[in-house]
Amino acid sequence: MSAVFNRVFVKVYLTIIGSLLLVVVVSAIVWRNGPEMETARSAFEMASGVAMAALADPGAPPPEQQKAIERLAGLLKADLALYDTKGTLLGSAGRPLPALDDIDGAEYGLGRARGPVWSFRLPDARTIVVRLPIENHRGGVGFFGHLALIALLLAIASYPVVRGLTRRLERLQQGVESLGAGDLTSRVKVEGKDEVARVAESFNRAAARIEELVGAHKLLLANASHELRTPLTRLRLGVEFLKDKADPDRKADLERDIAELDQLIDEILLSSRLDALSGLENVEDVDLLALAAEEAARFEHASASGTPVVVKGDARLLRRLIRNLIENAERHGTPPIEIEVQPTAAGAALRVLDHGPGVADADRERVFEPFYRTSVAGDARPGAGLGLALVRQIARRHGGDVRAVRDSSGRNGFAVSL
């Protein structure tokens, strides 16, 4: 309920309704204390004098008083009732009237029973109740009824205006959320020429500028990665020309460094391409267990087991996901490396586990950040790169995610949901 009242259009609309109610209340107070009420009091006082002249003396017998009441009722063509100072009915004429206690207790009271019923006190402390004939009474809702009707009409008329304004704000909010979620093509419709329209125009300009900057960044990254391939190729050729002339250990180090640099460039290009795409390029049926077995066969201490599961996805990206996890386990863990595939209600679950120390609790989310370095006890090669960051990107492209896990048997690794 609190969420409803926190919405802008509800606040604005309730403010308008509250203002209208305040107008009605103030108008009622002003009318009751204004010159119109004084005029009404004067009219009642005059009516009291006329009634005193037409009615019988307070000490007259009841039949005489009843006769006088009937005569006055006939002249006015109204329903009448007369009460003594103690509120006892002395006589009545015409249709039944409400009891004195059911009428407003003010000096000139008003009730409603088959039409307006008025009561006013005579100079001798008796009270007379009168109902004017309905055929002579003007139909309508009265002064306060008109105020209430005006307030209702204004409330109905103001709703589409208020809702139209806040609906544009809601669309602007949705555009901001879409942009924040990564949809750089998000734009909002510009309606009107007011402040909200100018905010929408500013948002569209800012979104276009952000899209342009991010696009330029991705293009620069892709071009830079591509240009790095040329010096890498020359380095490889230089190492090959060395042949047996160089120290074997030195040559092996150079080859390893080149391979790592080549892999890093490949990961940068893949990450940039994933950022640039709104969806998967190739979607097909992929046997996840078969894919895991193929990748495990490439490593000496890795094995795959589980239940065959077919998922919809990009086989090339899923292969890269499994390979990165195995390479991470080989680099930071302790063999054997075990890959497990199981079906789930939502799709499939893949786990790559080893017997190493695992990821520290404080690093369980940060290990998925690009180029994040973590220090693990006994690990001389902490490593830095895009391997796990790419795993998360690929998993999320397939509608899943990845997290660091530790099972009951002491194995550590990563679990992927697809």
- Among 137, 163, 179, the domain boundary falls at 137
Counts of helices then strands in the chain (DSSP H, E): 10, 12
Residue 337 lies in a domain: yes
CA geometry: angle 379, 384, 387, nearest 5 deg: 105
Residue 5 lies in a domain: no
Same domain assignment for residues 323 and 217:
no
Residue 155 lies in a domain: no
CA geometry: angle 20, 21, 26, nearest 5 deg: 100
H helices present in 299-374, as ranges: 315-332
Mean pLDDT of the region 202-209: 87
| CATH number of the domain within which 234 lies | 1.10.287.130
The answer to whether residues 413 and 325 touch, using CB atoms and an 8 Å cutoff, is yes
Mean pLDDT of the region 208-215: 80
Mean pLDDT of the region 283-295: 92
- pLDDT of residue 289 exceeding 60, the answer is yes
Same domain assignment for residues 249 and 291:
no
Strands 337-343 and 348-354: antiparallel
Which one is predicted more confidently, 417 or 262? 417
Mean pLDDT of the region 74-81: 82
Confidence of residue 296 (pLDDT cuts 50, 70, 90): very high
Task: State the chain's mean pLDDT as an integer.
Answer: 77
Which one is predicted more confidently, 35 or 79? 79
For residue 81, give the H/E element and its range: strand 79-83
Which range of residues forms the domain containing residue 340? 284-417
Q: What is the pLDDT of residue 322?
A: 94
Mean pLDDT of the region 177-185: 79
Q: What is the pLDDT of residue 343?
A: 93
Confidence of residue 417 (pLDDT cuts 50, 70, 90): very high
Q: What is the pLDDT of residue 174?
A: 85
Task: Pull the structure tokens for residue 323.
Answer: 């390979």
- pLDDT of residue 113 exceeding 50, the answer is no
According to the per-residue pLDDT averaged within each range, which of 100-109, 166-175, 301-310 is highest? 301-310
Cα torsion angle, 397, 400, 401, 404, sign: negative
Confidence of residue 376 (pLDDT cuts 50, 70, 90): low
Which percentage of the chain shows pLDDT scores above 90? 16
Q: Which of 8-17, 40-49, 163-172, 404-413 has the lowest mean pLDDT?
A: 40-49
Q: Categorise residue 142: left if φ over 0, alpha if ψ from -120 to 50, beta otherwise.
A: left
Confidence of residue 46 (pLDDT cuts 50, 70, 90): low
Residue 360 lies in a domain: yes
Mean pLDDT of the region 135-156: 63
Same domain assignment for residues 291 and 272:
no
Q: What is the pLDDT of residue 108?
A: 41
Same domain assignment for residues 249 and 299:
no
- Residues in CB range of 256: below 8 A, 6 or more apart: none
CA 248 to centroid of chain Cα atoms: 64
Task: Pull the structure tokens for residue 307.
Answer: 């239940």
Same domain assignment for residues 240 and 304:
no
Q: Which of 219-228, 256-265, 392-401 has the lowest mean pLDDT?
A: 219-228
Same domain assignment for residues 270 and 291:
no
Q: Which amino acid is at 357?
A: P
Q: Tell me how many domains the chain contains.
A: 3
| Extended strands (E) in 102-248 | 108-112, 116-121, 127-131
Strand partners, 112: 116
Q: Other C-beta atoms within 10 Å of 182: how many?
A: 10
- pLDDT of residue 79 exceeding 80, the answer is yes
The answer to whether residues 275 and 220 touch, using CB atoms and an 8 Å cutoff, is no
Q: What is the pLDDT of residue 95?
A: 84
Which one is predicted more confidently, 303 or 65? 303
Mean pLDDT of the region 182-206: 82
- Residues in CB range of 288: below 8 A, 6 or more apart: 308, 309, 310, 311, 318, 341, 348, 350, 418
Q: Break the chain down into helix, strand, coil percent, rounded to 5.
A: 55, 15, 30
The 10s digit of each residue's pLDDT in 304-325 is 999 999 999 999 899 999 999 9
- Among 241, 276, 311, the domain boundary falls at 276
The answer to whether residues 286 and 418 touch, using CB atoms and an 8 Å cutoff, is no
The 10s digit of each residue's pLDDT in 239-271 is 676 666 666 776 777 777 777 777 777 777 777
| Alpha carbons 225 and 388: distance in angstroms, whole number | 19
Task: Pull the structure tokens for residue 364.
Answer: 């369980």
Q: What is the pLDDT of residue 219?
A: 67
- pLDDT of residue 338 exceeding 90, the answer is yes
- pLDDT of residue 186 exceeding 70, the answer is yes
Q: Which amino acid is at 200?
A: A
* DSSP state, residue 55: S
Same domain assignment for residues 409 and 288:
yes
Q: What is the pLDDT of residue 152?
A: 76
CA geometry: angle 262, 401, 315, nearest 5 deg: 55
Place of tokens 């901001």: 176
H helices present in 107-194, as ranges: 142-180
Same domain assignment for residues 221 and 305:
no
Which one is predicted more confidently, 349 or 369? 349
Q: Which amino acid is at 96?
A: P
Same domain assignment for residues 227 and 294:
no
| Angle, helices 195-242/142-180, rounded to nearest 10 degrees | 10
| CATH number of the domain within which 53 lies | 3.30.450
